[in-house]
Copies of this chain bind each other. A is one copy, B any other.
């Protein structure tokens, strides 16, 4: 028991790869994903601040940095959504939550347990920081699937992930950071030479129109 165990567990997150069971040209560990999501959330925080919104920076960094720590317990298993019902996913989420609580009680010294209960709790909620985390997580997922599509990965799952991630981002399109993403970043992404001849530009337009239609 002790912080030594916690420090070593950070290294175990380097051994868990995202989207297991599918061929990928480039692997991403959960540790790497966490770094990128935090960096993306940091950028979006600045966009929100320039748009006049108040950002609780400590909360933003805390949520982003720790949001996938509990993948340590059951790994990254959300991928084959095709075969998972909402009920199944709820069960898996409950399992993960229980294991995280077990871990804190067994490994974290008493004086820090309250802190880690706070740090490792679900960070996506209706606060500005919770919403920034939600979109930063999806933007990194979008980049991961984009990277595979761009390199020529024929697995249809990456087009599904791209679509699902982008559709979720559109749900937050009233946020200043999402507006910036849609206006400035996404077009640059789709202008990449290897993408112009794929279905991605058309698919992106469809997703946008679909998102707009749903809310009218």
Contact = CB atoms under 8 A, between A and B. Distances in A.
Contact of A184 (B3, B77, B88, B106): B3
A53 interface: no
Query: What copy number does this chain have within its complex?
Result: 6
Interface stretch (A161-169, A185-193, A203-211): A185-193
Given A65-B42, A147-B11, A154-B150, A189 B103 contact: no
A113 to B, nearest CB: 11
Interface of A: 2-8, 10-17, 20-23, 25-26, 28-29, 31-32, 34-36, 38-40, 42-43, 46, 50, 57-58, 61-62, 65-66, 72-75, 77, 80, 82-85, 88, 91-92, 94-95, 98-99, 102-103, 106, 109, 111-112, 115, 119, 139, 143, 147, 150-154, 156, 180, 184-185, 188-189, 192-194
A-B pairs, 5 with minimum CB distance: A61-B61, A4-B188, A57-B58, A154-B194, A35-B35
